[in-house]
Amino acid sequence: MEDGTPFCKQCGAPQIRVPGIEAVESSAPGPAGIAPTESAPEVPSIPSVLLSEGGSPGVQWAHALPGAALGAVVSLFSLLPFAVLAPAFGGLGFFLGGALAVLLYRRHVKSHLSAGAGAKIGAASGAFAFLYVAIAMIGILQYNPEACRKAMVDSAPQLTARGYDAQKLQQLLEQVKTPEGLTSMVVTFLFYGFLIMIIGSSIGGALYAAWARRRAQM
C-alpha cells in the first residue's frame, strides 16, 4: 500500500490506517556495538581540609597523654615557687604545665595544632595534676587526718595576713576539728582545685599552640 491513495490499486479495497502503531526508532549503537556511557563523578574519599598544609588533625591521645602526665608533674613542682613569690599568681604553674604538654606532643606528631586542640591537651595535663593531688589528699585524710588538720591550722596566720576574714577563718578551723568537717573541707578544696587546674592548664595549652602555629606560618 502507498500513502495518499484511498484504495488499493490491485484489489480496489479501501485502505485503513490503524492509529497508535508507529515505528520506534532505536538509538544507534556506537562503533563497537556499545552505547556510549557517561563517566561517573569523582567522589573524594578524604576531606581536603585535613590534607592541606594548614589543616589540624585530631589529637592523637596515645602521644598526648604521656606528655600531659609529665606536664602535670612540672606544674605541681613549679606551683610552689610561684605561690611563694606571688600567691596571686600561683596558678601560673598550671599554665606552664599545659604549655609543656603541648610542646611534648608537637615533638612527637610534627604537625600544627589549633588553639582548641592545645586546650584539650592542656586540660588533660590539668586532669593529671588533679589526680595526683586528689590521691595524696585522700590518702592523708584516710591514714593521717591529724597531719591534714594541722596543715590547715598552721596556714591560718598566713591567710589572715593576706586579708582573709579572721572570724570566718576561725569558724572554719573549728569545723575541721571534727572528722565530718575535715572531710567537707577537703572535698571543697579538691573541687575548687579541680576548676583551677583544668582551666589554667587548658589556657596554657591553647596559648602555646596558637603561638607555635603562628610562628611556624611566618
Query: Residue 34 carries which DSSP code?
Result: -
Quick one: average pLDDT of 91-101? 88
As a whole number of angstroms, the distance between CA 203 and CA 200 comes to 5
- CA dist 123 to 54, 163, 205, 207, Å? 23, 31, 8, 12
Q: Would residue 212 count as lying in a domain? A: yes
Query: Is the separation of the CB atoms in 193 and 122 below 8 Å?
Result: no
Cβ atoms within 10 A of the Cβ of 168, count?
A: 9
Q: Would residue 40 count as lying in a domain? A: no
Task: Name the least confident of 70-79, 87-96, 105-114.
Answer: 87-96
- CA dist 118 to 59, 60, 178, 209, Å? 9, 12, 43, 5
pLDDT tens string 137-146: 899 888 888 8
Q: Would residue 186 count as lying in a domain? A: yes
What are the two backbone dihedrals, phi and then psi, of residue 69, each rounded to the nearest 5 degrees? -65, -40
DSSP H or E stretch at residue 196: helix 179-216
* Number of compact structural domains in the chain: 1
* Prediction pTM value: 0.67
Q: Would residue 158 count as lying in a domain? A: yes
Q: Would residue 47 count as lying in a domain? A: no
Q: Would residue 5 count as lying in a domain? A: no
Q: What is the pLDDT at residue 97?
A: 92
What percent of the chain has a predicted confidence (pLDDT) above 90?
28
As a whole number of angstroms, the distance between CA 38 and CA 106 comes to 47
As a whole number of angstroms, the distance between CA 201 and CA 131 comes to 14
Q: Would residue 12 count as lying in a domain? A: no
pLDDT-derived band at 69, boundaries 50, 70, 90: very high
What does the DSSP assignment read for 33-92?
S----PPPPP--SS-HHHHSTT--PPP-HHHHHHHHHHHHHHHHHHHHHHHHH-GGGTTH
What are the two backbone dihedrals, phi and then psi, of residue 7, each rounded to the nearest 5 degrees? -125, 155
Cβ atoms within 10 A of the Cβ of 207, count?
A: 18
State which residues form the domain around 166: 60-216
Beta bridge partners of 14: 7
